Every structure is written in structure tokens, then in C-alpha cells.
Amino acid sequence: MEILILVVIGIVLILAATPMSFKLRYRPPKGWGAGECRWHLFHNEINIHPDYRFDQGLIEHELYHARGSILSNWVRSILYEFVDKFRYLEEVEAYRVQLKEYPKGVKGERIAKFAEYLKYNYNLPNKLTKDAVKRLTR
Ligand SMILES: [Zn+2]
């Protein structure tokens, strides 16, 4: 019995220490929008629409979702699916990472656009997304 527990602990530690790999492709996403990160068991699939292949902000956004270890990706994909607040905060952070790539002159317009995306495209309750502009501006 002890050996089984040690094997399970070992597997968990390996999953926690192994970075999740990703495949970045320039092709239309299967979902909405110009980019997406689809979580799989042992790799992430990032699809960037070919029209947006030079949008470094969008690429950084999707790479943000693909960060971390295999174990942390499993945990995040479950939380993302089932916990509205987690999905909201994950996307806010991804959009904040994305915003860093754009020049100051367009940031205001981008913040307004991303706040709209957060409000309508992630199946989030209104009470959660009402502070989106404030969180994106922080
Ligand atoms: Zn995202």
C-alpha cells in the first residue's frame, strides 16, 4: 500500500514539475474570436487566425492561458470551465498581458473593446463583469 501512495505522489510531483507544451498554429479558431487556447491533456493547442498572425498582443494572450505545468493546466482548465469568477479573472489577466503589447495611443480603445468581450463572450454574469474596465486599467 505504501508503495502505491509513493507512486501516486511521484506522479503528481512529475506532473507539477513538467511544463505543459503547446502547439501554436496560424489557422482560424474553432470558437469565437481571432485566437484561442484549447486545453488538452498533455499539450495546449493555440490557434491564431492567419489575419492576426502579427498581433503579438493576441499571441501573448493565448500563451498566458498555456503557461505553467501540466498539473496547473489541468487544475486551471477545470476551474475555468466551472467557476465564473476564475474564468473572469483568468481572462482579465490574459487581456492585461495582451494590452502591454499595444502602443499607448490605442490602449483606451482596446480596454473598451476587451471589456465588451468580457461582458458578452465568456458566459459571465453581469454583476461579475461590471468592473471590467477598472480591472483592465489597473
Ligand atoms: Zn483568453
pLDDT in tens, 96-136: 999 999 999 999 999 999 999 999 999 999 999 999 999 99
- Give the Å distances, CA to CA, from 2 to 5, 6, 10: 5, 6, 12
Q: Which residues surround ligand 1, an ion (CB under 5 A)?
A: 91, 94
Determine the distance separating the centroid of ligand 1 and the alpha carbon of 65, expressed in angstroms: 7
Determine the distance separating the centroid of ligand 1 and the alpha carbon of 89, expressed in angstroms: 10
Q: Is the pLDDT of residue 77 over 90?
A: yes
Determine the distance separating the centroid of ligand 1 and the alpha carbon of 8, expressed in angstroms: 32
For residue range 6-64, list pLDDT tens digits in order.
999 999 999 999 999 999 999 999 999 999 999 999 999 999 999 999 999 999 999 99
- Which pLDDT belongs to residue 138? 86
